[in-house]
Amino acid sequence: MAQSDSERIWQLLALAQRDLNTAGELLEKVAKDSTEIEVLHVLMRYYSSRGDRQSVDRIARQLTVQVDIQVQRWSSMAEHSLQAKDLKRAQTMIENISALNPEAEVLPALKKQYQQKRTASSSAVSARKVGSL
């Protein structure tokens, strides 16, 4: 049975934990033009271990673009969640951004908005409890 590229990539990412050289060689063939952050990380480690500076630089640029795209997606989702007062989802998106890029420019503003919404939500709950007494 033939495997799809995505299945093969998933297996190679797991293999990279044990054997970076073999996984890197195979990923280079199967997923050289991938935009998946995990694949780019493995390729970066592989090229770095080989001392292939040109490929490391190329992958670093691609990785930067893909991280920025993902941070922007999660940032947008966090903002929408905050507007909808879905604080749990907003917190998850903020945590995702922080894990992927702790230096993301959007983090301080998102964290501040989250804290403000959380404080407002807590105040509203307290006011309702007092009002029901």
* 14-24: pLDDT as tens digits: 989 999 999 99
**Half-sphere exposure of residue 21, counting CA atoms within 13 Å on the CB side?**
3
Taking CA atoms, 7 is separated from 30, 38, 55, 70, in Å, by 11, 14, 24, 22
CATH architecture of 63-121: Up-down Bundle (1.20)
Burial class (CB in 10 A: 0-12, 13-18, 19+), 107: middle
Q: What is the pLDDT of residue 130?
A: 47
Q: What is the pLDDT of residue 38?
A: 92
Q: Is the pLDDT of residue 104 over 90?
A: yes
Question: Where do the structural domains in the chain lie, given as residue ranges?
Answer: 1-51, 63-121
Which of the four pLDDT bands, split at 50, 70 and 90, describes residue 74? Answer: very high
